[in-house]
Amino acid sequence: MHVSELETPSVLINLDIMERNIRRMQDHCNALGLAFRPHTKTHKIPDIAKMQLEAGAIGIACQKVSEAEVFAQAGINDIQIPYNVVGVKKTQRLVDLALYNHMTVSADHTMVVAGLADAAKTEDMALRVLVDLATAEQRTGASPYELVELAKRIEKEVHLHFAGVLVYPSDPSARPALLETLDLLNTAGIGVDVVSGGGFGAARFADQMPELTELRVGTYVFGDYGSVVKEWCTLADCAMTIAATVVTTDRVILDSGSKTLTSDRIQDGHGYIVEYPEARIYKLSEEHGHCDFSACAERPVIGEQVHIIPVHTCVVTNMHNQIYGIRDGEIEVEWPVAARGLVW
Amino acid sequence: MHVSELETPSVLINLDIMERNIRRMQDHCNALGLAFRPHTKTHKIPDIAKMQLEAGAIGIACQKVSEAEVFAQAGINDIQIPYNVVGVKKTQRLVDLALYNHMTVSADHTMVVAGLADAAKTEDMALRVLVDLATAEQRTGASPYELVELAKRIEKEVHLHFAGVLVYPSDPSARPALLETLDLLNTAGIGVDVVSGGGFGAARFADQMPELTELRVGTYVFGDYGSVVKEWCTLADCAMTIAATVVTTDRVILDSGSKTLTSDRIQDGHGYIVEYPEARIYKLSEEHGHCDFSACAERPVIGEQVHIIPVHTCVVTNMHNQIYGIRDGEIEVEWPVAARGLVW
């Protein structure tokens, strides 16, 4: 089926571009001697994860236990969850997964570690726990001193294993704290298996972070307009577009609103229209994309199809039940977004 | 099952509040002699639409043909799509629906009307078409003069029927244009069956719009923080909350980010935390809600559950596979969000 026969709005993935993105990031990591662990949050699709593994990735990252379950059931067994898994049911499911899969989780607080230890204690296992180092992101993460205390705490637990340090994003600005942490751990006699960095932007500076042993990146696989604006990739690297139809032209309105693109915004708009680079999507209603075409030499007509590079690819995938892989204008594959919409 | 046993993040609907919202809006319309047509975009759940019909609604509105198909299959047969349905496949499916259901659609341009006429011509039907009047919303819509020309165009088509005027939002500010339109239609000898207004905010001023014959409102059924800020409802009218868990406390981080709440924002934040009214959700990552608790007398602990009233309820429903109806702390019903994630 030709891509133009698809109903809109539909999410399209240019397979040639995606495959090039997969190869290029793997090559980048190979050249630096870094293990690569793609973050599946961007696609949530086991088949794409398998392409990433086929290209050389050592395993994957998932952001939720429920997502890890989907990928484990699809036969992918080295899974890291770089998240504080909190709550008796979630930690129990994590432990269940760890019985048959190579699971790693992160923590940044003794209460999180205590929950993991409690869940793991009934099993003959040593659940791998990375400690999350705070960065300028100001999200999760412990200070270097706290991190070492947590590492000691983890090492005291029979059923947990301190697996190393997690850094997000692993920008060079995080290096002083990372070096301090590794020095403190060394002084304390605590071994470090893994130093796991992450972030699409940070990946470009991984050569300046020689302490990293692995890298987690998600967005690179599809690319998006937000990454282009931040100069993490180019428009030519954007594999995902949303096929949309013009439904009104007095003001140009597309059939793609916040229920298709999400409200994520960068600079002055909600995406880049491939066919009309000077156009601006200045506002979204739920099912309408409000466009300003005043800078364009031509205006589209009602019924015309255009393609939008979204601002943030990961949140787009999260809303759609299926996305379409296209090559040379033909639909080659329809992927159900298997790991979207999960609660756990 | 008690609500506290649910995993987080989960979307909860307080059934008592929802039922009160349903009754109150219906009473409001009844008192004004207005037909009420709830917009299902907010819930996308046939069972809730049936409660709205049971309370006295004359039918529903859906924003897409695919959504209308879901509700029609559930036995709801009076459906309005207040949208320019564009494209051969979509118009064909609309016509298929209209064979067995009381369908109405809107249009604001001759090309849209031509597409509808072309799809309807093979059937023995007169598809009801409302013409959309432009308002200050600057979205879709024709001017009064254009609207009358479109009405004439529709009346010339054997398989279409001009059903009246659509106004969104039907604020009193739209009344001069509406009066001008109705006057022009009257002069042209064109009958008007329906004047359909819409909008949660506009509903409050429906008494100042005596020309309306029906009202479409969606958000009222759940309410949200955006509506509270705009004074369309109170916090006590918000039936939807997202149960979230605190996963980090150095900075307070919840397990609900933009993949749970969407990036919709109002004033200074991404929602209202019921247990900590002074807290502010100032930023969202995909799976993290970044909170500022500096104005709160107490801080939460890791593992503590809180409840967030989202900024925009309609876009939240659109991301979740199921939502939970609760009463007196117990889960009374789990609803699949049947009409979410559809392409058409």
Contacts of A262 in chain B (CB under 8 A): 258, 262-263, 315
Question: Could you tell me the two tokens for B78?
Answer: 């009076």
Q: Mean pLDDT across the stretch B304-315?
A: 95
By C-alpha distance, the chain A residue nearest B66 is A7
**Contact at CB, A138 and B251, closer than 8 angstroms:** yes
B49-73 pLDDT tens trace: 999 999 999 999 999 999 999 999 9
B167-217 pLDDT tens trace: 999 999 999 999 999 999 999 999 999 999 999 999 999 999 999 999 999
pLDDT at A249: 84
**Packing angle, helices B15-32 and B46-54, rounded to 10:** 40
Q: Round to whole Å and give the CA distance between A216 and B317.
A: 30
Question: CA dist B26 to A83, B71, B74, B245, B342, Å?
Answer: 45, 20, 22, 36, 29
pLDDT at A250: 77
State the smallest CA–CA distance between residue A76 and chain B in angstroms.
22
Q: Mean pLDDT across the stretch A249-260?
A: 91
Paired residues of A221 in beta bridges: none
State the smallest CA–CA distance between residue A66 and chain B in angstroms.
11
State the smallest CA–CA distance between residue B89 and chain A in angstroms.
8
Q: Closest partner residue to B84 among A115, A247, A343, by Cβ? A: A247
DSSP state letter for A5 = G
Contacts of B89 in chain A (CB under 8 A): 7
Contacts of A265 in chain B (CB under 8 A): 263
Q: Round to whole Å and give the CA distance between A284 and A269.
A: 9
**Contact at CB, B142 and A250, closer than 8 angstroms:** yes
DSSP state letter for A211 = T
**Contact at CB, B263 and A259, closer than 8 angstroms:** no
DSSP state letter for B39 = B
Residue of A313, A306, A328 lying closest to A239 (CA atoms): A313
**Contact at CB, B87 and A8, closer than 8 angstroms:** yes
Q: Closest partner residue to B86 among A140, A245, A341, by Cβ? A: A245
pLDDT at B35: 98
A181-221 pLDDT tens trace: 999 999 999 999 999 999 999 999 999 999 999 999 999 99
State the smallest CA–CA distance between residue A8 and chain B in angstroms.
6
State the smallest CA–CA distance between residue A222 and chain B in angstroms.
16
For the cut 90, the answer to whether the pLDDT of residue B290 exceeds it is yes
Residues contacting residue B89 through CB under 8 Å, at least 6 positions apart: A7, B344
Q: Which helix (H) or strand (E) holds B275?
A: none
Paired residues of A194 in beta bridges: A164
Range with the lowest mean pLDDT among A112-121, A155-164, A260-269, B69-78?
A260-269
Testing the interface with A: which of B132, B263, B343 to mutate, by most A Cβ within 10 A?
Answer: B343
By C-alpha distance, the chain B residue nearest A115 is B303
State the smallest CA–CA distance between residue A191 and chain B in angstroms.
25
- Cβ burial, residue A307 (10 Å; 0-12/13-18/19+): buried
State the smallest CA–CA distance between residue B276 and chain A in angstroms.
20
Cβ count near B288 (within 10 Å): 25
**Contact at CB, A247 and B287, closer than 8 angstroms:** no
Residue of B80, B174, B173 lying closest to B182 (CA atoms): B174
Note the pTM of the prediction, 2 decimals: 0.94
Paired residues of B307 in beta bridges: B243
Residue of B181, B64, B120, B153 lying closest to A247 (CA atoms): B64
Tell which wins on pLDDT, B207 or B342.
B207
For the cut 70, the answer to whether the pLDDT of residue B236 exceeds it is yes
Quote the mean pLDDT of chain B: 96
- As annotated, the residues of chain A forming the CATH 2.40.37.20 domain(s) are 3-10+225-336
Contacts of B265 in chain A (CB under 8 A): 263
A20-74 pLDDT tens trace: 999 999 999 999 999 999 999 999 999 999 999 999 999 999 999 999 999 999 9
State the smallest CA–CA distance between residue A265 and chain B in angstroms.
9
Q: Mean pLDDT across the stretch B132-149?
A: 94
**Contact at CB, A262 and B265, closer than 8 angstroms:** no
DSSP state letter for A244 = E
**Contact at CB, B258 and A259, closer than 8 angstroms:** no
**Dihedral sign of CA atoms B117, B120, B126, B129 in order:** negative
**Contact at CB, B8 and A83, closer than 8 angstroms:** no
For the cut 90, the answer to whether the pLDDT of residue B144 exceeds it is yes
Q: Round to whole Å and give the CA distance between B251 and B171.
A: 43
**Contact at CB, B315 and A259, closer than 8 angstroms:** yes
For the cut 90, the answer to whether the pLDDT of residue A138 exceeds it is no
pLDDT at A344: 62
Testing the interface with B: which of A286, A299, A313, A335 to mutate, by most B Cβ within 10 A?
Answer: A286
Tell which wins on pLDDT, B137 or B41.
B41
CB-side exposure of A147: number of CA atoms within 13 Å? 31
**Contact at CB, B139 and A253, closer than 8 angstroms:** yes
For the cut 80, the answer to whether the pLDDT of residue B267 exceeds it is yes
- Topology (CATH) of B34-221: TIM Barrel (3.20.20)
Q: Mean pLDDT across the stretch B71-77?
A: 97
Q: Round to whole Å and give the CA distance between A49 and A270.
A: 27
Please answer whether residues A261 and A286 qualify as being in contact, where contact means their C-beta atoms are separated by less than 8 angstroms. Answer: no
Q: Round to whole Å and give the CA distance between A303 and A294.
A: 19
For the cut 80, the answer to whether the pLDDT of residue A343 exceeds it is no
For the cut 90, the answer to whether the pLDDT of residue A137 exceeds it is no
pLDDT at B344: 63
Q: Which helix (H) or strand (E) holds B64?
A: none
Quote the mean pLDDT of chain A: 96
Task: Go through chain B and tell me how many residues it has.
Answer: 344
Residue of A5, A6, A10, A2 lying closest to A308 (CA atoms): A10
- As annotated, the residues of chain A forming the CATH 3.20.20.10 domain(s) are 34-221
Pairing outcome for strands B271-273 and B252-254? unpaired
Q: Mean pLDDT across the stretch B225-248?
A: 96
**Contact at CB, B90 and A288, closer than 8 angstroms:** no
- Topology (CATH) of A3-10+225-336: Lyase, Ornithine Decarboxylase; Chain A, domain 1 (2.40.37)
One-letter amino acid at B67 equals E
Contacts of B286 in chain A (CB under 8 A): 41, 63, 314-315, 318
Pairing outcome for strands A194-198 and A214-216? parallel
B160-181 pLDDT tens trace: 999 999 999 999 999 999 999 9
Contacts of A89 in chain B (CB under 8 A): 7
Question: Given this structure, which CATH class describes domain B3-11+225-336?
Answer: mainly beta
Residue of A243, A208, A237, A207 lying closest to A224 (CA atoms): A237
Q: What angle do CA A70, A76, A81 make, to 5 degrees?
A: 70
Q: Round to whole Å and give the CA distance between B185 and B181.
A: 6
Q: What angle do CA B14, A341, A236 make, to 5 degrees?
A: 135
Q: Round to whole Å and give the CA distance between A339 and A74.
A: 11
